[in-house]
C-alpha cells in the first residue's frame, strides 16, 4: 500500500453521497444529502443539474473535512442514463437533466421501432429502444428546443451523462470525458468498437463533437479545480452505479455476478472479454475487468423486489417494519404452496411482459400474514433464479456464486433461502456500500493507493456467505411452483402463449 485515501462520490437518483476510504479500507469520512425531484408532467422526471453539482460538491467537501486526511484520488459513480446539456464556456446547464426514469420518449421509441431500427440498435449497443436510455432523450431535446439544436450544430454545446457533467464542473471545464460503462447506456456507443458510432449518432441527431471523450474507467479524468473542492486531486475512476457495484463486489472474472436488492433488483453478470447477446431479454453492457479495463456484462432487472415488502407494510399494513419480515418468514417451516408474483408494474427479464399484473396463488383457509411475507421474500429469490438461469443459458458460463447488496440483502433468512434456490453460495460483503467502494477501487488503483486489484480486495474484510442448504428435489419443486404461479399471472393478464 502506498497510503493515502480515496474520495468516492456516489451521485444517485435521490441524493449524493461522498465517502473517504482509507488505503486500509476504512471509511474515514462521509456525508449524504438529497436534492429535489421535479415531475413537470405525468411520466416526466427531471433534476436540476446545477443543484446536483452544488449538493455533490458540498457532500464531497464535508466528507473530506470529516476525514481530516489527505485525499490522493477521486472516484465518481453515478445514476446512469440521465442526460445533461450545458454551455461549454460558462458551464451552466441549458435544460433540466432528463432522468433515466423519464418516459417522455415512449412514442419516439415506438416510431423508431416501427421504422425498423431496433435490430441495429440492439446489435451495436446491446440495449433496446426504450425511453430509459439517454439517446432518445437527447433527440427529444433537439426536436423540441430549436435553440439547443442550433447550438449542437455549431458545436457550442456540451452533452453528457451525470459523470461527464461532474467531471466538467469539478475540473472547471478542463475535461469533457466519460467512461465506457456510462457511455454504453446512451444508445450512441458501439459495444464492440468501444466508441461512439456515427450511425447511432445520426439516428439520435447528436453531433459527435459535443459528446465527451470516452476514457478507461480506471484512468485520467483531470484534476479537481482548487476553487471547487478546496483541494487539487486527480479524478482517477469513473463508472455507472451498477457497474461500480459489480467492481466493488470483486466480480472481475467471467461467471461472477452481483445483485442489488433495493426497491427493484439489478443483476449484473460478468462475461469477461466475450460479448454475449441475450435471447432472453437481457441487456448487454460494458463493465470492468480487474484492472478497470473493458469487460462485458449481462444485465437483468426485477422491477419490484424490496418494494413488495413495502407494499405489505404500507399498502396492507401486515408488518410495521421491513426488518420484521425475517422473523415472520422464519416462523414457518415452508411456504405451504403460497406464491406472490409481484408483477405490479409488469414482469421484467426474462419475461418482458409490461402489461402483466401481480397475483397471490395457493391461498387456503390456513394462509396467514406470515405466508404472504414469506412469499414476498421468496419472490426475490425466484426472480433472481430466473434471471441467473437465463444468463447462464445465454452465456454458456456457469455461475459460481452470487454477491448481494442493497437494503433487502440485510435479511439473512432471504439470503439463506436464495442460496438454496440458486444452488450456489450467496455472499454479502461487510462493506455494503459497494457502489462507492467500486468507484474508490477504480480510482485508487490508477492513483497507486492500491498497487493491485488483489491488494484492494484484501483490505475489505469478508462479510457473510450463505451456502445452499436445500436439496435438488426440493429446489425443483419450489421453482416449479413459482413457474406455475407466473404462468397463472400471464394467463390472468391474457398474455399466456
- What is the smallest separation between the CB atom of 401 and ligand ADP, expressed in angstroms? 21
The residue (of 224 and 434) whose beta carbon lies closer to ligand ADP is: 434
322 near ligand ADP, rule: CB under 6 A: yes
d(CA 153, CA 378): 52
15 near ligand ADP, rule: CB under 6 A: no
**Residue of the chain from 16, 301, 325, 335 that contacts ligand ADP (CB under 6 A):** 325
- What is the smallest separation between the CB atom of 396 and ligand ADP, expressed in angstroms? 32
Angle, helices 134-144 vs 106-114, to 10°: value is 100
306 near ligand ADP, rule: CB under 6 A: yes
301 near ligand ADP, rule: CB under 6 A: no
Count of residues that interact with ligand ADP, criterion CB under 6 A: 15
- What is the smallest separation between the CB atom of 322 and ligand ADP, expressed in angstroms? 4
CB 379 within 8 A of CB 341: yes
CA 305 from centre of chain: 14
Phi, psi of 20, rounded to the nearest 5 degrees: -105, 120
307 near ligand ADP, rule: CB under 6 A: yes
Which residues, including other chains, have CB under 8 Å from residue 254's CB and lie 6 or more apart? 270, 271, 272, 273, 274, 395, 397
Structural element, H or E, at residue 28: strand 27-34
Could you give the C-alpha distances from 341 to 71, 317, 348, 379, in angstroms and in order?
47, 18, 12, 6
d(CA 393, CA 379): 21
434 near ligand ADP, rule: CB under 6 A: no
Q: What is the CA radius of gyration of the chain?
A: 22
**DSSP classification of residue 464:** E
CB 397 within 8 A of CB 361: no
Stretch that binds ligand ADP, among 17-25, 42-50, 76-84, 403-411 (CB under 6 A): 403-411
330 near ligand ADP, rule: CB under 6 A: no
**Residue of the chain from 408, 443, 459, 489 that contacts ligand ADP (CB under 6 A):** 408
d(CA 84, CA 157): 11
118 near ligand ADP, rule: CB under 6 A: no
In DSSP notation, 207-238 reads -GGGSPEE--SBS---B--HHHHSS--BEEEE
The residue (of 411 and 457) whose beta carbon lies closer to ligand ADP is: 411
Alpha helix stretches (DSSP H) within 116-172: 118-125, 134-144, 146-154, 162-170
Closest listed residue to residue 287, CA positions, set 357, 206, 223, 216: 216
Q: Residue 321: how many CB atoms within 10 A of its CB? A: 8
Stretch that binds ligand ADP, among 307-315, 435-443, 446-454, 467-475 (CB under 6 A): 307-315
407 near ligand ADP, rule: CB under 6 A: yes
The residue (of 14 and 364) whose beta carbon lies closer to ligand ADP is: 14
**Residue of the chain from 126, 237, 406, 438 that contacts ligand ADP (CB under 6 A):** 406
- What is the smallest separation between the CB atom of 478 and ligand ADP, expressed in angstroms? 19
CB 440 within 8 A of CB 19: yes
309 near ligand ADP, rule: CB under 6 A: yes
- What is the smallest separation between the CB atom of 406 and ligand ADP, expressed in angstroms? 4
493 near ligand ADP, rule: CB under 6 A: no
Shortest-Cβ-distance residue relative to ligand ADP:
407
287 near ligand ADP, rule: CB under 6 A: no
The residue (of 204 and 408) whose beta carbon lies closer to ligand ADP is: 408
Rama region for 228: left / alpha / beta (φ>0; ψ in -120 to 50; rest): alpha
Length of the chain: 497
d(CA 377, CA 30): 31
Stretch that binds ligand ADP, among 57-65, 293-301, 323-331, 449-457 (CB under 6 A): 323-331
- What is the smallest separation between the CB atom of 309 and ligand ADP, expressed in angstroms? 4
429 near ligand ADP, rule: CB under 6 A: no
Instruction: Record the cell numbers describing residue 118, joined without a space.
Output: 431496433
11 near ligand ADP, rule: CB under 6 A: no
211 near ligand ADP, rule: CB under 6 A: no
What is the contact surface with ligand ADP in residues (CB under 6 A)? 262-263, 306-307, 309-310, 322-323, 325-326, 406-408, 410-411
Amino acid at each position: 500500500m502506498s497510503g493515502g485515501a480515496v474520495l468516492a462520490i456516489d451521485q444517485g437518483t435521490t441524493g449524493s453521497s461522498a465517502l473517504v476510504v482509507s488505503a486500509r479500507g476504512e471509511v474515514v469520512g462521509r456525508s449524504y444529502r438529497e436534492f429535489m425531484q421535479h415531475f413537470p408532467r405525468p411520466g416526466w422526471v427531471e433534476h436540476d443539474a446545477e443543484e446536483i453539482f452544488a449538493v455533490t460538491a458540498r457532500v464531497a467537501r464535508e466528507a473530506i473535512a470529516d476525514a481530516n486526511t489527505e485525499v490522493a484520488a477521486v472516484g465518481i459513480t453515478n445514476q446512469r442514463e440521465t442526460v445533461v446539456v450545458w454551455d461549454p464556456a460558462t458551464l451552466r446547464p441549458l435544460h433540466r437533466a432528463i432522468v433515466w426514469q423519464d418516459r417522455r420518449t415512449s412514442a419516439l421509441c415506438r416510431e423508431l421501432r416501427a421504422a425498423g431500427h431496433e435490430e441495429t440498435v440492439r446489435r451495436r449497443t446491446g440495449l433496446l429502444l426504450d425511453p430509459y436510455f439517454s439517446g432518445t432523450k437527447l433527440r427529444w431535446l433537439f426536436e423540441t428546443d430549436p435553440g439547443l439544436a442550433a447550438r449542437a450544430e455549431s458545436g457550442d454545446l456540451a452533452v453528457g451523462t451525470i459523470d461527464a457533467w461532474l467531471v466538467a464542473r469539478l475540473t472547471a471545464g478542463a475535461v469533457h470525458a466519460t467512461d465506457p460503462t456510462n457511455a454504453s447506456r446512451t444508445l450512441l456507443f458501439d459495444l464492440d468498437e468501444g466508441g461512439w458510432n456515427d450511425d447511432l449518432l445520426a439516428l439520435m441527431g447528436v453531433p459527435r463533437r459535443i459528446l465527451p471523450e470516452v476514457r478507461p474507467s480506471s484512468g485520467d479524468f483531470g484534476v479537481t479545480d482548487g476553487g471547487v473542492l478546496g483541494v487539487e486531486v486527480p479524478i482517477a475512476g469513473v463508472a455507472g452505479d451498477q457497474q461500480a457495484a459489480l467492481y466493488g463486489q470483486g466480480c472481475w472474472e467471467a461467471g461472477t455476478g452481483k445483485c442489488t436488492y433495493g426497491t427493484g433488483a439489478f443483476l449484473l453478470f460478468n462475461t469477461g472479454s466475450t460479448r454475449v447477446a441475450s435471447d432472453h431479454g437481457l441487456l448487454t453492457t460494458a463493465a470492468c475487468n480487474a484492472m478497470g479495463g473493458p469487460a462485458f456484462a449481462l444485465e437483468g432487472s426485477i422491477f419490484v423486489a424490496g418494494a413488495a415488502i413495502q407494499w405489505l407494510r404500507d399498502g396492507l399494513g401486515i408488518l410495521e417494519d421491513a426488518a420484521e419480515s425475517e422473523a415472520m418468514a422464519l416462523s414457518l417451516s415452508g411456504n405451504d404452496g403460497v406464491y406472490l408474483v409481484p408483477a405490479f408494474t409488469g414482469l421484467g427479464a426474462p419475461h418482458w411482459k409490461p402489461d402483466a399484473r401481480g397475483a397471490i396463488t395457493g391461498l387456503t383457509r390456513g394462509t396467514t400474514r406470515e405466508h404472504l411475507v414469506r412469499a414476498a421474500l421468496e419472490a426475490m429469490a425466484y426472480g433472481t433464479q430466473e434471471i441467473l438461469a437465463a444468463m447462464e443459458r445465454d452465456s454458456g458460463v456457469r455461475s459460481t456464486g452470487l454477491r448481494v447488496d442493497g437494503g433487502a440483502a440485510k435479511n439473512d433468512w432471504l439470503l439463506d433461502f436464495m442460496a438454496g434456490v440458486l444452488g450456489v453460495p450467496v455472499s454479502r460483503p461487510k462493506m455494503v456500500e459497494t457502489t462507492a467502494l467500486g468507484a474508490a477501487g477504480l480510482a485508487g488503483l490508477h492513483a497507486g493507493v492500491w498497487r493491485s486489484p488483489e491488494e484492494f480486495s484484501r483490505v475489505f474484510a469478508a462479510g457473510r456467505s450463505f451456502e445452499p442448504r436445500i436439496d435438488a428435489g426440493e429446489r425443483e419443486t419450489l421453482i416449479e411452483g413459482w413457474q406455475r404461479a407466473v404462468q397463472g399471472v400471464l394467463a390472468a393478464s391474457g398474455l399466456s402463449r
